[in-house]
Chains A and B, each alone.
Chain A
Amino acid sequence: MEKFDKLTGIAAPMPLVNIDTDMIIPKVFLKSIQRTGFGKNLFDEMRYNRDGTEIADFVLNKPQYRDAKILVTGDNFGCGSSREHAPWALLDFGIRCVISTSFADIFYNNCFKNGILPIVLPQEDVDKLMDDASRGSNAVVTIDLENQTIQGPDGGEITFEVDAFKKHCLLNGLDDIGLTLDKAASIDAFEARAAQERPWV
């Protein structure tokens, strides 16, 4: 997993609430057995006409947002299915950070496994960043994970909260499985105990 420490990039506004994982990556693209290559179909049904041509007024098709690295979104982003193809598609497109008032639980966890930082902020902060993002290519935002700050285009600073363990993994690009396997003795001990207490499992 690629480390996430500091990110500077264009923020694209997507104020719609309840953007679900079917919108982020429709199921017709879930048939791949790879983790990469989903970026071209990110937001497919919102982004393209049926004939494959681009829908001009979709935010990521506008010239000033084509290289966006950050999304500022409406409430409950990523609701719906558990498909990790959603963060894979965002990452493959180049999005490394999503900012919203709330995220669906599974999507939120999936982001951290892929070097994407989801940031939860109060409504007023999201409104401010949404306004910044609406300014197009001038809306360059800097995310500093170490210091948990967001710097807007006019120099204003917003702080955010993030779970300490998740932050540590992102900052260092750590592989969860490797970390857990270091605790194999605890898992062995648990299994031995559970085999006594609940042998039917």
Chain B
Amino acid sequence: MSPKTLYDKIWDAHVAHEADDGTCLLYIDRHLVHEVTSPQAFEGLRLEGRTVRAPDKTIAVPDHNVPTTEDRVHGIVNEESRIQVEALDKNAKDFGIHYYPVNDVRQGIVHIVGPEQGWTLPGMTVVCGDSHTATHGAFGALAHGIGTSEVEHVLATQTLIQKKSKNMKVEITGKLRPGVTAKDITLSVIGKTGTAGGTGYVIEYCGEAIRDLSMEGRMTVCNMAIEGGARAGLIAPDQTTFDYVKGRPHAPKGAQWEAALAWWKTLYSDADAHWDMEITIPGEDIAPVVTWGTSPEDVLPITGKVPSPEDFRGGKVEAARRALDYMGLTPGMALTDIEIDTVFIGSCTNGRIEDLRAAAEILKGKKIKEGMRAMVVPGSGLVRAQAEEEGLAEIFREAGFEWRMAGCSMCLAMNPDQLSEGERCASTSNRNFEGRQGYKGRTHLVSPGMAAAAAITGRLTDVREMM
């Protein structure tokens, strides 16, 4: 048998039909659904008199639109948001799919709820009408975002029409230095490859620094595979994965667990598998990083300076000029001199318990800068409950942070959590696009520890100075 990559193995195990030209029907094991990209798909089913083929494999949760203030138990004030969430309530009920409504303690960001509840398992195919579905690749599952037409296609057929992507290996060798996190790894990779560098590929992240990460960290790395342009990111499952999965509500039990484990242990790239592209980054070369511009590829170590458009070539010169203007920055200024108005800790990139622990570690016994607006939005109701139990919520509150209910919140600012014009935010989210966190808002992407440090000093700060 010819050697295979992990991606090859998962792909081969899910091809339900292959046409002569290589167009495949890929069977989907888990379909995650949220309120923004699904209403038109369910409506499409109704218009054609179609049903959901595999409701048991379909899991829905509202996350993008939901307010994160505690008064949301009384209902959503914004009418359009309320209608969208109510449409999901109704669609989940009408089509008989698994559902975690707003007031369920298990509600949260779909990419945090899936793994938390054990829906996401190694070797699966997982899709969702959301680009950050890449997150689930951390389990060695082939997971990617799809559009609403494809959501409808999966609902109706439990398959996707796909052609296979190419294989890319991203190896992070050795150990990370203190203060360097999974967020710094994933941003540094994008900084190196660019936001289109992964287009046409599925990336497998490997190497000692990846192996050393917890599941939370691995989810952070894979989450941003999409910002690198890749269809999906993958990390081969190992004991860390199995320990995380075991005992979760929807994980296999008893004899099924043993059977699953036996298969999962075959899910790795063979030693002599073929890679279409390979990138190696020494872990010790990675520093805590921040973004300065309006693309996730605009990454620099926190010790760096704001670049000049002349530092770039081709179309990026004009893009950099536009970004600097939008961000209100001057070339040559130290990144640590950039003053921050707001700090956002949360999102499917960094809204898990480990992220909150990392931020709380920096904030313990300290206060945020006067006038700073700072917010923690746990990724799920269960993350929130655990953080309260561990005393983290208390640390955040005492430092001056707002302690919110779970949701996507200011990562994309569809709910009331938004930046105002010119407001500058250190954010643990995944996109620094123009207007992403609010009209004319300015976003600097950072790790949770770096976000906490910035909240204390009021400027972008090297977290290593606070450790």
Q: Which residues of A contact B (CB under 8 A)?
A: 15-18, 20, 22-23, 26-28, 30-35, 45, 50, 74-76, 79-84, 87, 102-106, 109-110, 113-114, 163-165, 176-177, 179-181, 183-184, 186-187, 189-191, 194, 198-201
B29 engages A201 (CB within 8 Å):
yes
- Known contacts A110-B149, A114-B149; decide if A80 and B37 are in contact (CB<8 Å): no
A76 engages B229 (CB within 8 Å):
yes
Contacts of B25 in A (CB 8 A): 180, 183, 186-187
Please report the C-alpha to C-alpha distance between residue A26 and residue B156 in the assembled complex, in whole angstroms.
29
- Taking A33-B83, A113-B150 as given, write out 17 further A-B residue pairs in contact, using a Cβ cutoff of 8 Å, ordered by the A residue number: A17-B316, A18-B195, A22-B433, A23-B435, A31-B65, A33-B87, A45-B439, A50-B421, A79-B195, A79-B196, A103-B199, A177-B152, A180-B161, A186-B17, A190-B16, A190-B27, A194-B27
Distance between B322 CB and nearest chain A CB, rounded to angstroms: 7
Chain B 294-306, CB-CB to A under 8 Å as 1, else 0, gives: 0101000000000
A187 engages B159 (CB within 8 Å):
yes
- Known contacts A45-B439, A180-B157, A180-B159; decide if A28 and B150 are in contact (CB<8 Å): no
Determine which of B39, B64, B260, B295 lies in contact with A33 in the assembled complex, contact meaning CB atoms within 8 Å.
B39
Please report the C-alpha to C-alpha distance between residue A26 and residue B439 in the assembled complex, in whole angstroms.
9
Contacts of B148 in A (CB 8 A): 35, 84
Contacts of A183 in B (CB 8 A): 16-17, 25
Determine which of B80, B196, B230, B435 lies in contact with A31 in the assembled complex, contact meaning CB atoms within 8 Å.
B80
Q: Which of B16, B144, B229 has its CB near the most chain A CB atoms (within 10 A)?
A: B16
B108 is an interface residue with CB less than 8 A from chain A: no
Please report the C-alpha to C-alpha distance between residue A26 and residue B257 in the assembled complex, in whole angstroms.
44
Please report the C-alpha to C-alpha distance between residue A179 and residue B161 in the assembled complex, in whole angstroms.
10
B256 is an interface residue with CB less than 8 A from chain A: yes
B199 engages A105 (CB within 8 Å):
yes
Contacts of B200 in A (CB 8 A): 105
A177 engages B199 (CB within 8 Å):
no
B214 is an interface residue with CB less than 8 A from chain A: no
B131 engages A106 (CB within 8 Å):
yes
B150 engages A75 (CB within 8 Å):
no
B201 and chain A: residue at smallest CB distance? A105
A46 and chain B: residue at smallest CB distance? B434
A183 and chain B: residue at smallest CB distance? B17
Contacts of B149 in A (CB 8 A): 84, 110, 113-114, 176
Q: Which of A33, A104, A191 has its CB near the most chain B CB atoms (within 10 A)?
A: A33
B318 engages A201 (CB within 8 Å):
no
Determine which of B16, B43, B147, B434 lies in contact with A110 in the assembled complex, contact meaning CB atoms within 8 Å.
B147
Distance between A196 CB and nearest chain B CB, rounded to angstroms: 11
Determine which of B81, B256, B315, B319 lies in contact with A199 in the assembled complex, contact meaning CB atoms within 8 Å.
B256
B27 and chain A: residue at smallest CB distance? A190
Determine which of B156, B229, B315 lies in contact with A181 in the assembled complex, contact meaning CB atoms within 8 Å.
B156
- Known contacts A18-B319, A30-B414, A110-B147; decide if A198 and B17 are in contact (CB<8 Å): no
B277 is an interface residue with CB less than 8 A from chain A: no
B131 engages A81 (CB within 8 Å):
yes
Determine which of A17, A83, A184, A191 lies in contact with B37 in the assembled complex, contact meaning CB atoms within 8 Å.
A83
A180 and chain B: residue at smallest CB distance? B157
Determine which of A32, A76, A109 lies in contact with B80 in the assembled complex, contact meaning CB atoms within 8 Å.
A32
- Known contacts A17-B315, A74-B315; decide if A31 and B414 are in contact (CB<8 Å): yes
Contacts of A79 in B (CB 8 A): 195-196, 229
Determine which of B83, B123, B315 lies in contact with A15 in the assembled complex, contact meaning CB atoms within 8 Å.
B315
Distance between A24 CB and nearest chain B CB, rounded to angstroms: 11
Please report the C-alpha to C-alpha distance between residue A42 and residue B32 in the assembled complex, in whole angstroms.
28
Distance between A121 CB and nearest chain B CB, rounded to angstroms: 14
Distance between A140 CB and nearest chain B CB, rounded to angstroms: 25
Please report the C-alpha to C-alpha distance between residue A30 and residue B147 in the assembled complex, in whole angstroms.
13
Q: Which of A18, A30, A109, A183 has its CB near the most chain B CB atoms (within 10 A)?
A: A18
A15 engages B121 (CB within 8 Å):
no
Please report the C-alpha to C-alpha distance between residue A91 and residue B161 in the assembled complex, in whole angstroms.
22
A82 engages B156 (CB within 8 Å):
no
B169 is an interface residue with CB less than 8 A from chain A: no
A75 engages B196 (CB within 8 Å):
yes
Q: Which of A23, A113, A184, A200 has its CB near the most chain B CB atoms (within 10 A)?
A: A200
Contacts of B231 in A (CB 8 A): 105
Show 21 A/B contacts (Cβ-Cβ < 8 Å), sorted by A. A18-B196, A23-B434, A31-B65, A31-B84, A74-B315, A74-B319, A82-B37, A82-B130, A84-B40, A84-B148, A103-B199, A106-B131, A106-B144, A113-B149, A165-B23, A176-B153, A177-B153, A187-B16, A191-B27, A198-B13, A200-B259
A82 engages B145 (CB within 8 Å):
yes
B21 engages A16 (CB within 8 Å):
no
Please report the C-alpha to C-alpha distance between residue A181 and residue B48 in the assembled complex, in whole angstroms.
12
Please report the C-alpha to C-alpha distance between residue A168 and residue B9 in the assembled complex, in whole angstroms.
30
B153 engages A82 (CB within 8 Å):
no
Contacts of A87 in B (CB 8 A): 147
Distance between A44 CB and nearest chain B CB, rounded to angstroms: 9
Q: Which of A103, A105, A163 has its CB near the most chain B CB atoms (within 10 A)?
A: A105
Contacts of A103 in B (CB 8 A): 199
B153 engages A165 (CB within 8 Å):
no
Please report the C-alpha to C-alpha distance between residue A126 and residue B147 in the assembled complex, in whole angstroms.
26
B157 engages A181 (CB within 8 Å):
yes
B79 and chain A: residue at smallest CB distance? A31
Please report the C-alpha to C-alpha distance between residue A114 and residue B152 in the assembled complex, in whole angstroms.
13
Distance between B98 CB and nearest chain A CB, rounded to angstroms: 14
Please report the C-alpha to C-alpha distance between residue A50 and residue B224 in the assembled complex, in whole angstroms.
31
A105 engages B87 (CB within 8 Å):
no
A180 engages B153 (CB within 8 Å):
yes
